[in-house]
Chains A and B, each alone.
Chain A
Amino acid sequence: MAIHREPSALGLYLRARTFERQCKGQSRNGMNDSPGPHLKTYVLIFFIVLFAPLGNVLLSKGMKGVGSAKNWVPSDIFHILASIITSGYIWLGIACLLTFFVAYMLVLTWADYSYVQPASSFSYAVVAMLGYFLLGEAVPPLRWIGISVICVGVFIVGHTHPRTAEKA
């Protein structure tokens, strides 16, 4: 029975070093052909799709609590900045966005950008779902259609190879 071992730090390092070579010769599934990283890739993409929308939802929750400036005068803005810094939801949101960012950077050290970016396009749909279920936002059908169209567009953008953009 094949044993799927987690790669060591040295393994990750070597894999990162060969990333450029992998980009030149794309693998069929957009990932390294060794069996180890597949589960890890799916877990990290799950983190990306979950933590970016969750971070934005928490920021939204925090900002709804802080409120909007009435006149946008300096004293109002200063008061709002003070409220932002002391809001737990804002800090939680920032922590989620940092988690997303770390997961995104990590997965790009072994998985292809053209595989990760289209997969992360689902986060636009997830943010609407979280807004609907967690914040009780009204999401009209036209918005769902628009979000679906955006997902398709991002999917296509992500499927263009990052190095197809040659110098003019």
Chain B
Amino acid sequence: MLEFLFLFIIVTAGTGGELCVSRAMKVVGEVHDFRPAAVVRFVFRAMRVGWMWIGIAMMTLAFFSLLAMLSIENVSFVVPVTALSYAAGALGAMLFLHERICPQRWLGVAIVCAGVTLVWLSRR
């Protein structure tokens, strides 16, 4: 039961964090200048966006949940099942970023979910 909870947090908080960072990046704008000073200025500009901090907080939560899950399950089980974040990412992009996901990507996501199910069934 605990594994379900940790996996849920890893997938939802991890994907949610990435979506928040993605939203923050869209606020900051596209990077055109890759010189070190410009990159540092870009990072400071990103840090002034609230979505960035929400994203970092969620990804930190996902990281500690990953550590907790690794303390009770094998790494050859934990890492593959976290591939479920591809499904969460596609759903999140569609619902929160209002992006249209092409059918080929949905097919890939469905295959990933089938693979995760097989890995979950292999748990002893």
Q: How distant is B1 from chain A, measured CB to nearest CB, in Å? A: 12
Do residues A157 and B112 form an inter-chain contact, with CB atoms below 8 A?
A: yes
Chain B binding surface, main DSSP class: helix
Contacts of B76 in A (CB 8 A): 127-128, 131-132, 137, 139, 143, 147
The stretch among B12-20, B47-55, B99-107 that forms the contact with chain A is B99-107
Contacts of A13 in B (CB 8 A): 34-35
Q: Is B72 an interface residue (CB 8 A)?
A: yes
Q: Is B57 an interface residue (CB 8 A)?
A: no
Q: Is B68 an interface residue (CB 8 A)?
A: yes
Instruction: Report the Cα distance A68→B101, complex, angstroms.
Output: 39
Instruction: Report the Cα distance A145→B111, complex, angstroms.
Output: 12
Q: Interface residues of A toward B: which range?
A: 35 or more
Which single member of B75, B101, B124 contacts A57 (CB below 8 Å)?
Answer: B75
Chain A binding surface, main DSSP class: helix
Q: Is A74 an interface residue (CB 8 A)?
A: no
Which single member of A131, A132, A150 contacts B115 (CB below 8 Å)?
Answer: A150
Name A156's closest neighbour in chain B (CB-CB): B108
Do residues B109 and A166 form an inter-chain contact, with CB atoms below 8 A?
A: no
Contacts of B79 in A (CB 8 A): 53, 56, 124, 127
Which single member of A109, A140, A166 contacts B100 (CB below 8 Å)?
Answer: A166
**What are 24 sample pairs from A and B whose C-beta atoms fall under 8 A apart?**
A20-B30, A53-B79, A59-B67, A63-B68, A63-B70, A63-B71, A68-B68, A127-B75, A127-B79, A128-B76, A131-B75, A137-B74, A145-B118, A147-B115, A149-B111, A149-B112, A150-B112, A153-B111, A153-B113, A156-B104, A160-B102, A160-B105, A165-B105, A168-B98
Could you list 11 further interchain pairs (A-B, Cβ under 8 angstroms) beyond the known A57-B75, A166-B99?
A: A56-B75, A60-B75, A63-B68, A63-B71, A138-B124, A143-B80, A146-B117, A146-B122, A147-B76, A160-B105, A165-B102
Query: What are the nearest 6 A-B pairs in CB distance?
Result: A146-B118, A149-B115, A156-B108, A153-B111, A153-B112, A150-B115
Which residues of B are in contact with A by a Cβ distance under 8 Å?
30, 32, 34-35, 66-68, 70-72, 74-80, 83, 86, 93-94, 98-102, 104-105, 107-122, 124
